[in-house]
Amino acid sequence: MALKIYLAGPDVFLADARRVGQQKQQMCRELGFEGLFPLDNDAAVGADAASIFRANCSLMRQADIGSFNLTPFRGPSADAGTVFELGFLFARGKPLYGYTSAVKSYRERLAAAGELHVDPNGQPYDRGGYAVEHFGLSDNLMIVRAIEDSGGVITAVEEKTGEASTSLAAFQAFKACLKIISERIKPADVRRA
């Protein structure tokens, strides 16, 4: 039986989510994995939030590996639903892999958005007075460290401005991520929960 990769990301919010999901699942199949694609607001799992939540949790419980589209979503961090799922699968001890179309660090992205201020001691803060982590990571340390501690990596392919909303860069980063997973994880490496 093929190992199952949970395909987390804000892709579920795309108008053509189902097609994007099938495309990613096909890429998984070509490398001998089964891709589990979550759904949001899809007729197949029912129209209410509770049904969608339970369907996604049920899929996550079947997963052997997690893959996460960490491309910044409506702010400097990854999509909140995706990050929730990262915490869930980390707690279950699964190997986790991330990919993103942002190659800059979190701090660089805040600075580029004009949201970074520096106090007299050189400590960076945002306009709300909250410190900005100075570890040079691509997102909040809990996200990046969880992936690294689980044995995974984050791949990044830079987004070119003017690209379509269905990010080609994130797709290429996913492909690179999947390649690393297939090189590293063989069926015997993963114990089922």
> x/- site string to its own copies, residues 48 to 77, per CB under 8 A?
xxx-xxx-x----------------xxxxx
Q: Which is nearer to its own copies, 125 or 182 (CB)?
A: 125
Residues 68 and 99 sit within 8 Å (Cβ to Cβ) = yes
Task: Give me the least distance between CB of 27 and its own copies, in Å please.
Answer: 21
* Residue from 3, 39, 63, 83 in contact with its own copies (CB under 8 A): 83
Tokens of 54: 């339970």
Closest to 127 (Cα-Cα) out of 136, 117, 119, 135: 117
> x/- site string to its own copies, residues 87 to 126, per CB under 8 A?
xxxxxx-----------------x----x---------xx
Element (H, E) at 111: helix 106-112
Q: Which is nearer to its own copies, 33 or 68 (CB)?
A: 68
Element (H, E) at 62: helix 49-62
Measured in degrees and rounded to the nearest 5, phi and psi for residue 131 equal -65, 150
Is position 86 an interface residue for its own copies (rule: CB under 8 A)? yes
Give residues 6-45 in contact with its own copies (rule: CB under 8 A): 10, 13-15, 40-41
Give residues 170-189 in contact with its own copies (rule: CB under 8 A): none
Cross-strand bridge partners of residue 125: 117, 131
Could you tell me the strand order of the sheet in which 65-69 lies?
34-36, 4-8, 65-69, 96-100, 154-156
Q: Which residues bind its own copies (CB under 8 A)?
A: 10, 13-15, 40-41, 48-50, 52-54, 56, 73-81, 83-92, 110, 115, 125-126, 128-135, 137, 139-146, 148-149, 165-166
